[in-house]
Amino acid sequence: MTLKIPAASKALLFQLAAFLAVHVFAPAWSNFALSLLEGMLAAVFSLRMERWWIPIQFCFAPFVVLALEIGIDPLWYLAAFLILGLVYWNVMTTRVPLYLSGREVASTLAALIPDGPFELADLGSGTGGLIGNLGRLRPEGRYFGIEIAPLPFLFGRIRHLGKSGIEMKWGSYERIDLSRFDVVYAFLSPYPMQDLFTKVTKEMKPGSIFVSNSFEVPGIPADEILEAGGRKLYLWRIRPPSAPSAAHGGDSLPG
Ligand SMILES: C[S@@+](CC[C@H](N)C(=O)[O-])C[C@H]1O[C@@H](n2cnc3c(N)ncnc32)[C@H](O)[C@@H]1O
């Protein structure tokens, strides 16, 4: 059995190893020179990690030394840490960071939703911008946003406070039932797509639509692929389990 260590924990272990190596054999150098050596060692230890970790590993110790020498009040660091934590802490488990859908995505979605009343869910609704833009274009819809990161959720909640037809909830989409929605939209990352699609096909009703911004579902071709603001929107139409469809593992049908 192989032990799978998360990348962030590995990076931390490499930093600690570099710190120990440099401070056990510490030459009589300045703190900054030592931190450069520490950065180099940490970067070398991290060579087998994804490439973007290497500059981070190299810069970490020198930046700590520089930050200490500039003499900024430590409370600023605490404040920055808390704010970043409230936005990004869940990324360690969800592997989905915050980035926002533009207006073009909202217009494309608004155009593809059939006329008449509908209910739409934005899974991982971020700061609620997509729901706001869609709500202006299709005011007859009802909108539900669910967001796991506390600060973006709070921002979205305050932004849509008192607006009828918009509900913003704090929590994980994994715990909600998707059966009431006519349209489910997700802009997440490659990581959760397989599990999310299993949930979608189990819970969403025939005739409803699932749209994923930018991320495909491995092995399940979309029924339609649209372009919006330089991004691809993958769309699956949910059909009854017996009907041949992409959403149930068969051939895709025209939209
Ligand atoms: C790329 S952003 C998309 C924001 C918004 N939907 C938009 O399109 O502008 C993805 C968001 O999903 C949230 N998220 C990730 N996993 C989640 C989960 N299991 N439940 C709820 N939100 C989640 C993240 O915190 C992040 O804010």
3-state secondary structure 159-222: HCCCCCCEEEEECCHHHCCCCCCCEEEECCCCCCHHHHHHHHHHHCCCCCEEEEECCCECCECC
Q: Mean pLDDT, to the nearest integer, of 98-124?
A: 95
Residue nearest to atom 16 of ligand 1 (CA): 94
Other Cβ atoms closer than 10 A to 113: 18
Cα 113 to middle of ligand 1, angstroms? 21
Domain boundaries, the chain: 7-71, 103-248
Instruction: For residue 89, give both structure tokens.
Output: 């802490």
The correct answer on CATH 3.90.1200.10 for the domain covering 103-248 is no
Output the ligand 1 site: residues, CB below 6 A: 90, 94, 96, 98-101, 122, 124-126, 129-130, 146-149, 152, 172-174, 187-188
pLDDT at position 176 is: 97
Query: Per-residue pLDDT for 155 more than 70?
Result: yes
Query: Per-residue pLDDT for 92 more than 80?
Result: no
Q: Mean pLDDT, to the nearest integer, of 105-118?
A: 95
Query: Per-residue pLDDT for 12 more than 70?
Result: yes
Q: Which residue has the tokens 């998360």?
A: 6
Atom index in ligand 1 nearest the CA of residue 149 equals 25
Q: Mean pLDDT, to the nearest integer, of 85-108?
A: 88
Tell me which residue of 221, 171, 224, 173 sits closest to 195, measured CA to CA: 173
* Banded model confidence at residue 243, pLDDT cuts 50, 70, 90: low
Residue nearest to atom 4 of ligand 1 (CA): 126
Other Cβ atoms closer than 10 A to 157: 19
